Amino acid sequence: MGMEALISRRLEVRSGAEQEINAILSGSRQVWGMGITQEDYVEYHRLVRHHPWSEKNFQHLVLGDELGDIFSSCKLYLHQIKADGQLYRVGSIGAVFTPSVYRSKGYARQMLEHLLDRLREDGYDLAMLFSDIGTEFYARFNFRVVRKYDPVYAFLNGKRERAQVMIYEFLPPELLDWHLRYAAGQRFSLVRSPDYFQLLSDRITWHRRYMGFREQRVIVSREDSSYLWVDLSRFRIILRDFGTASPNPAHALSGLLSGLRAKHGFKELGGWLPNDFDNYSFLQLKEKRLRSKTVLMISALSKKAEAVFKLPDDQIHFWLADYF
């Protein structure tokens, strides 16, 4: 396990300095930023890191020593979730990365153990992460897999009311209220504050400019107080987010999709979609596949959070927009 290295060095988990984070990004780009220039990859992360929401709720953490060597790293996002009407404080962990020379020596384990202990001491109820490396490693820290099946729907032909839609490259502020009204009807949701919603809006521009997501658009029907955030293609659209203040979400979604199809054209709808889409008559389920990449895992940090584990997996839903 390389415990000699662990014992001989005094290590601490702390926020990374700018040059340390840039060095980490130089290595992690091979995992999460293939096809993107190093300059663009670094600039995107710099913008996220220095956003007003991030200044209070985000840290790029490193496990380092007094000499400045970095042995492992991760991102920490501080959120709240609402489950069955109860609020929970959440530490969301992402981008766990260890430089190749230090792998299989126990450094990531040491970093995560320290971080989870610190979250407990600070009164957080739940830890969450999305894993791209399987689940066995994180199961050691009592993380449980939330099994998720990702659907693909065909949009059925037929006469239906078409919403008059406008297309944006950002999220107009009033859409937050529409999202909150729709989320209020869900058993589980990530709480979005105005500054977090602004970060999501800014990220659309940054995704397009630096990360290669050139087809992200926001489709808005002001008449129905509803919106879609999508990645466009002629064959399939990927739905990142949906919100509506309408008392009939199915009608609002149908109108948005009909309006979008008239302007753009598509045959299928995919994404990280909630199960209630299965009940919409204008969508035909083509397939559902168990998610094997970007798997959501959760771990209770307080007695209170054990109630979240009683929710069925299909009720624990994140929009792709909130993927951290």
Q: What is the mean pLDDT of residues 71-88?
A: 97
Beta bridge partners of 78: 91
pLDDT value for 156: 92
Q: What is the mean pLDDT of residues 162-179?
A: 97
Share above pLDDT 90 across residues of the chain, in percent, rounded to a whole number = 90
Helix H or strand E segment including 207:
helix 194-210
For residue 2, pLDDT over 60 is answered with: no
Please provide the average confidence, as pLDDT, over all residues in the chain: 94
Share above pLDDT 70 across residues of the chain, in percent, rounded to a whole number = 97
| Assigned superfamily of 149-290 | Gcn5-related N-acetyltransferase (GNAT) (3.40.630.30)
pLDDT value for 34: 86
Angle between helices 18-32 and 38-49 (to 10 degrees): 120
Q: Identify which of 292, 293, 288, 247 has the alpha carbon closest to the alpha carbon of residue 269.
A: 288
The fold of 3-147+292-322 is Aminopeptidase (3.40.630)
For residue 6, pLDDT over 80 is answered with: no
For residue 3, pLDDT over 60 is answered with: no
Strand-pair category, 268-271 with 236-244: parallel
Q: What is the mean pLDDT of residues 309-315?
A: 95
Go through the chain and tell me how many residues it has.
Answer: 324
For residue 123, give every residue at least 6 positions away whose Cβ sits within 8 Å of its Cβ, in sequence order, or none.
89, 302
For residue 1, pLDDT over 80 is answered with: no
For residue 4, pLDDT over 60 is answered with: no
pLDDT value for 8: 59
Helix H or strand E segment including 290:
strand 283-290
pLDDT value for 9: 67
Give 66 or 42, the one with higher predicted confidence: 42
What pTM, to 2 d.p., does this model score?
A: 0.93
pLDDT per position as a tens digit, 224-233: 999 999 999 9
pLDDT per position as a tens digit, 100-112: 999 999 999 999 9
Q: What is the mean pLDDT of residues 139-156?
A: 95
Q: Identify which of 12, 2, 123, 102 has the alpha carbon closest to the alpha carbon of residue 62.
A: 12
Q: Outline which parts of the chain fall under CATH 3.40.630.30.
A: 3-147+292-322, 149-290
